[in-house]
Amino acid sequence: MSNVAPARTPGKFDVERIRADFPILGLRIDGKPLVYLDNAASSQMPQPVIDRLVRYQTSQHSNINRAVHYLSETATFEYAEARCKLARFINASEEREVIFTSGTTDAINLVMHGYGRKFIGAGDEIILTTLEHHSNIVPWQMLCEEKGAKIRVVPVNDAGELLVDEYEKLFNERTRFVGVMHVSNALGTVNPIRHMTAFAHARGVPVLIDGAQAAPHMQIDVQDLDCDFYAFSGHKVCGPTGIGVLYGKAALLEKMQPFKGGGDMILSVTFEKTVYNTIPHKFEAGTPPIAAAIGLGAAVDYLSALGMDNIAAHELELLDYATAQVNRMPGVRIIGTAEKKAAVLSFAVDGVHPHDVGTLLNQEGVAVRTGHHCAQPVMQRFNVPATSRASFAFYNTLAEVDALISGIRAVQKVFS
Amino acid sequence: MTDSKALYQEVILDHNRKPRNYGQLANASHRAEGHNPLCGDRISVGLDLDGERIGGIVFQGESCAICKASASMMTTNVKGKSRADAETLIREFRDMATGKLDPQSETHHLGRLTVFAGICDLPTRVKCAILPWHTLHAALNSVASTSTEAEDDPMHAPIGGA
C-alpha cells in the first residue's frame, strides 16, 4: 500500500530518514534525547502505522463478518487483507493458517488448549528449553498438572547455546511435543530451530516455535522452517499491542479443538449441538481486535518495504559494535555470548545491581530493561538475579550505542 | 521527575558499600523473608525481641543499592527501639516513599531516613526501598515470608502509589 511506504534511499539503509518516521524517537527524557534500547520488550510505531489506525478508526470501523452495510463490509475486507499480509510476511502457504491472537502468550495458550489438551496425556513428555520465556513454560506446566504429563528441559552451555546433543537424547517413545523459542529474549541466542524441528519430525513429534524475538529481526519463512506452529506478537514488530499471530499447519489446526467458545467461531448453534466454524475462524471467538490487526498489517508492510534482510544487517552491525565496546570495558560482563545472536545485549556491571544500572541509565535518557526478563530459569542457569538488557531495533544508531556505553561509565562512576 | 542522581547520595552509596548489621542472628526470636518478584530482590530480617524492645536486628540478602541501603539504615534506626516505635517508623517510611508524607512539611521521626524521600518520584523503585520495612513488619508480626506483591499485606504499596 502506498500510504505505508517508509522513507528510504534505494540501496542504502538510511537510519536518519527512517527515524523521522517514528515521532516518539524525538522525545527528550530529563532534557536528554531518548535512546530507546528496550525494543525486545516492545518496539515503537512508525507514523504510517499510526496513520493507518487513524484511517481505520475515522472511516472504516464497524464489526466484521456480520452486517451487510458499507462499514461492516469495509472492516471485514480490511481485516481479511491484514491476514493476507501476515501470511505473506511469514510465507505461510495459506491465509487460513494465520490466526489472530492477542499476542504470543495467547497463541501458545491456544496451542496448549487446542492441541495439548486433546493429544497429550498421562505419562507423555513435552520438551522445552532452559531459554524459554515464562509464556512457553507456564502453559505447559498447567497442562502437565492437569494431565499428568511431564516436561523435559534442554540445557544450555555457558555461552547460552542449546546443547543439541542433549536435546536429541531427550526424545523417547513418550515424547509428544516440542516447544522452543527462535531467539532468546534474555540472551539473544538464535536457536537451531530448523534442525531441531527436522529431528522432532523424524520421530513424529510436532514443534511450536516462539518467534516473539525473531519476527522483528529476520525474515521468517514457516514453510522453510517446516515448523507446526509459529507464534509472535504485533507490538514487537512496530504494530499495536493486543494483537499477535499464531501460524499453524492447516492439517493440525483442523484436528485441534477450539480454545475459546463464542460468536464467530461457530457455523451453527442449537442447545443440542454446535458446529464449529472452519479455520482460522474456529480459533477467533468473539469480536477480534480489528483495528490492531489492520495496524499490524500496516506494520509488516512497513518492515517488508525496508527489507528484513536490510534490517537484520543493520541490527547486527549495532550488536557487533556494542559487543566490542562492552568487551573493552573493565567491570562489565556480557551474559549470552552465543555465536549466532540477534540484537540483544544482556550485561552485568560488577558490584551494581541491574535496577540501579537501569535507573541511572534512564537519567542519561537511555531506556534499557532490567530484571529477569520473564526467564527466571535463564537467570538461575547463569547465577544472576537479573541482568540489564539493551535490545536494538533497525531505527537505532551507532551514536546511540555510544550513549549506552558512556551511560554505563557514568553508572560505574557513581558506584566507584 | 526527580534527579535520580540525587537519590544515589553518598549516604546511600556508603550503606550499600558497607551495610550495617549485615549477617545472621544466631538467636533471633523473630525472622522473615521478603521478596520482590518483579525484580528478584530478596532480603531476610532477623531480630531479637527483648520484651517489647528490639535488642538486636540483622539483615541479609541480594538486592539493589536502594534496597540494601534502606535495609542497613533501617537496622541502625530501629535497634534499641520499642516495637511500637518501630511500627511508627515503618508506617512513616512507607508513607514517605509512596508520597503520602511530605517530610519537609509534616512531623515525623524519620531523621536521616529522609534521604529516601526522592524515591516517591520513581514509582518503579518504590518497592526496592520499602521491601526491608515490609519484611521487618512481617518479622515483628511473626509472618515468615512476605512479598511486595502480597495484596493482603498491610504494607502492600502498588506501583505508582495511591
d(CA A60, CA A63): 10
Burial class (CB in 10 A: 0-12, 13-18, 19+), B5: middle
Q: A228 with A252: CB under 8 angstroms?
A: yes
d(CA B22, CA A236): 43
Q: Do A319 and A200 have their domain in common?
A: no
State pLDDT tens for residues B102-138.
999 999 999 999 999 999 988 889 999 999 999 999 9
Specify the DSSP class assigned to residue A113.
I
Q: Report if residue B60 sits inside a domain.
A: yes
Q: Do A189 and A251 have their domain in common?
A: yes
State pLDDT tens for residues A330-353.
999 999 999 999 999 999 999 999
State pLDDT tens for residues A36-59.
999 999 999 999 999 999 999 999
**How much is the average pLDDT of A141-162?**
98
Q: Report if residue B101 sits inside a domain.
A: yes
**Last residue of a domain, which of A304, A327, A346?**
A304
Asked if B39 and A355 come within 8 Å (Cβ–Cβ), the reply is yes
Q: Do A179 and A276 have their domain in common?
A: yes
Cβ-based interface (< 8 Å): residues of B facing A: 1, 3-5, 7-8, 13, 16, 38-42, 62-66, 122, 124-125, 128
Burial class (CB in 10 A: 0-12, 13-18, 19+), A122: exposed
Q: Report if residue B158 sits inside a domain.
A: no
- Give the bridge partners for A263, in sequence order: none
Q: Do A173 and A201 have their domain in common?
A: yes
Q: Do A299 and A311 have their domain in common?
A: no
Picking from B35, B39, B41 by the largest number of A CB atoms within 10 A of its own CB, the best residue to mutate is B39
- Inter-chain CB pairs, A–B, below 8 Å: 51
Q: Do A362 and A246 have their domain in common?
A: no
C-alpha distances in Å from residue A313, one per residue of A13, A15, A310, A400, B17: 9, 12, 5, 17, 42
Q: Give average pLDDT by consecutive 10-residue segment, chain B, 162 residues.
A: 67 94 90 85 92 94 93 96 96 95 93 93 90 95 75 45 31
**Which CATH number is B116's domain given?**
3.90.1010.10
Asked if B8 and A379 come within 8 Å (Cβ–Cβ), the reply is no
Could you tell me whether strands A366-367 and A369-371 are parallel, antiparallel, or unpaired per DSSP bridges? Answer: unpaired
Hey, CA dihedral for A211, A216, A217, A221, is it positive or negative? positive
**Last residue of a domain, which of A304, A321, A340?**
A304
The total domain count for chain A is 2
Catalytic residue among A144, A227, A238, A374: A374
**Which CATH number is A196's domain given?**
3.40.640.10
**How much is the average pLDDT of A67-83?**
95
Q: Do A103 and A143 have their domain in common?
A: yes
State pLDDT tens for residues A199-248.
999 999 999 999 999 999 999 999 999 999 999 999 999 999 999 999 99
DSSP of A127-183, one letter per residue?
Answer: EEETT--GGGTHHHHHHHHHHT-EEEEE-B-TTS-B-HHHHHHT--TTEEEEEEESB
Q: Do A213 and A281 have their domain in common?
A: yes
**Which CATH number is A312's domain given?**
3.90.1150.10
Q: A298 with A48: CB under 8 angstroms?
A: yes
The reported pLDDT for the residue numbered B144 is 74
The total domain count for chain B is 1
pLDDT at A7 over 80: no
φ, ψ for residue A211, nearest 5 deg: -100, 15
> To which residue does cell 538486592 refer?
B63
- Give the bridge partners for B94, in sequence order: none
Q: Which helix (H) or strand (E) holds A391?
A: strand A387-391
Residue B46, domain extent: 4-147
Q: Which helix (H) or strand (E) holds A320?
A: helix A308-327
**How much is the average pLDDT of A264-268?**
90
Cell of A86: 501476515
Specify the pTM: 0.91
Q: Report if residue B156 sits inside a domain.
A: no
Q: Report if residue B160 sits inside a domain.
A: no
Q: What is the ipTM of this complex?
A: 0.83
**Last residue of a domain, which of A304, A339, A362?**
A304
Q: Do A149 and A273 have their domain in common?
A: yes
Q: Do A272 and A365 have their domain in common?
A: no
Angle between helices A398-414 and A308-327 (to 10 degrees): 30
Q: Do A338 and A199 have their domain in common?
A: no
Residue A58, domain extent: 51-304
pLDDT at A281 over 70: yes
The reported pLDDT for the residue numbered B4 is 52
- Across the beta sheet with A387-391, the strand order is A332-335, A344-349, A387-391, A369-371
Average pLDDT, chain A: 95
Proportion of chain A above pLDDT 90, given as a percent: 91
Q: Report if residue B99 sits inside a domain.
A: yes
